[in-house]
Chains A and B, each alone.
Chain A
Amino acid sequence: MSEPTVTYEEARAELARVVERLESGGGTLEESLALWERGEHLADVCQRWLDGARARLDAARRDRDANAT
């Protein structure tokens, strides 16, 4: 929610970059921890986006089924 403008693709791309950097090692522990926190946050953003999309899809299907009867 801290980043309402970020799109799913942007969040996912950044998440992939974060994971890559984490996996390649290097940097201070402080930096690694900060990266990890960023990664968790981005993963949450992506998940919320997917959950939201699925909820909208389900709602639309319910509406359609309700209208169909």
Chain B
Amino acid sequence: MTQADATPRSSAEEPWPVRVVSQKISAWVARLGWVWIDGQVAQVTRRPGTSVVFLTLRDPAADISLTVTAHRDVLDSGAPALTEGARVVAHAKPDFYPSRGTFSLRADEIRQVGLGELLARLEQLKKLLAAEGLFDPARKRRPPFLPNRIGLITGRASAAERDVLTNAKRRWPAVEFRVVNVAVQGPSAVSQIIDALAVLERDADVDVIVMARGGGSVEDLLPFSDEALCRAVFACRTPVISAIGHETDTPLIDFVADVRASTPTDAAKRAVPDLADELRLIATARARLDRAATNLLDREQQRLDAIRSRPVLANPITMLDSRSDQVNSLRERADRTVSHRLDRAATELHHTLARLRALSPAATLERGYAIVQRSDNGAVLRDPADASVGDAVRLRLAGGELAARVTA
């Protein structure tokens, strides 16, 4: 190193005062100027109340460390999720602090690098959260079929916001939103999103919360893998639908959320039903219901008609018919019996008459005999003494009667 300043060389007789040495060291250190430095963060110290963050940057290969200071904003904009183990590239300049004789690198830009390592860390957090049960499907709540009001957490005037609102309204025109706009990337994103969650959780009308953000780099989406945010979402009693980035992005919040939507448009689909679809379904169901009710009534009517048309009900006279038949047949039997007996009696009578006739005097008279009766009293004359001369008598012959008078 050349000595550009005019200070004479130091010697035992003319030593340099501390301030001179300090100034010289400071000048030498400053001579390095701004450099880009690559290292691994061994320690991050954010002191409350100060805006300066202290990093211990370690060489990835050798056990050599440097202290880096940076304004909080620098860290938040370039490496918001910076934690121990992260690989960073910093634009820094060495600063010597004369009062204590120490030096550190002051960074005005810090970029987190080593995506693979970063993802590995996320993978580790993912395992931790999974082990704690934050991804447990059994713990997921089902969003309401038709929400009262949808809480939407998204970037101001973002495409994601427009996608969710437009698609939800197209599906269900009466849909109601409460939109909370937040930073969706950068240092304040996590705290703003957690605050928004709390606000929407307190709103009794909000019964589902959609968190939407368009696509971005893995770093941009990092807030949505933040552990605090994941825990806040898990603790949220209102069902949360996450729609972060593109289909292929899987920030950890996607695993914690109750429903994972691939895109903001998909989130709208999952948040509200499609009115036209529902109306069609209702119309179909109603038609089927109608048919079913009509069919049921028709079927029952047929059954009832069938029962009513059975002869015992439709024609109750048949019930009397059999009995009437019985009566008639009995009557006939009675008739037959009676007429039979009458016939027999008539025959008997005939025979008796014949016998009677056989016993009558008519046959005797036919043979030429005559019966003589007194005319006055009809007495039959059996002895000539029964009549006197001059008495009138009647002669009964087979062919008729003759009147006569006793003469001798």
Q: Which residues of A contact B (CB under 8 A)?
A: 8, 12, 15-16, 19, 22-23, 25, 29, 32-33, 36, 39-40, 43, 46-47, 50, 53-54, 57, 61, 64
Contact = CB atoms under 8 A, between A and B. Distances in A.
B319 A22 contact: yes
A29 B319 CA distance: 8
A50 B312 contact: no
B349 interface: no
B300 A50 contact: yes
Interface residues of B, number: 19
Given A29-B323, A36-B319, A61-B290, A19 B307 contact: yes
Contacts of A33: 319
B292 to A, nearest CB: 11
Contacts of B308: 43
B329 interface: no
27 contacts: A8-B300, A12-B303, A15-B307, A19-B307, A19-B310, A19-B313, A22-B312, A22-B313, A23-B310, A23-B312, A29-B323, A32-B319, A33-B319, A36-B313, A39-B312, A43-B308, A43-B313, A46-B300, A46-B304, A50-B297, A50-B301, A50-B304, A54-B297, A57-B290, A57-B293, A61-B290, A64-B286
A46 B297 CA distance: 11
Contact of A39 (B290, B293, B313): B313
B158 interface: no
Interface string B277-301: 0000000001000100110010011
Contacts of A25: 322
B313 to A, nearest CB: 5
Nearest to B290: A61
B312 A36 contact: yes
A43 B306 CA distance: 11
B316 interface: yes
A50 to B, nearest CB: 6
Contacts of B307: 12, 15-16, 19, 43
Interface string B310-331: 1011001001101100000000
Given A8-B300, A40-B313, A64-B286, 7 more contacts: A12-B307, A19-B312, A36-B313, A43-B304, A50-B297, A54-B297, A57-B290
Contacts of B322: 25
Nearest to A39: B313
Shortest 10 CB-CB distances between A and B: which pairs? A22-B312, A46-B304, A36-B316, A43-B308, A39-B313, A23-B312, A19-B310, A32-B319, A57-B293, A50-B301
A8 B307 CA distance: 14
Contacts of B313: 19, 22, 36, 39-40, 43
Contacts of B301: 50
Nearest to A36: B316
A23 B313 CA distance: 9
A31 to B, nearest CB: 11
B303 A57 contact: no
A54 B301 CA distance: 10
B6 to A, nearest CB: 101
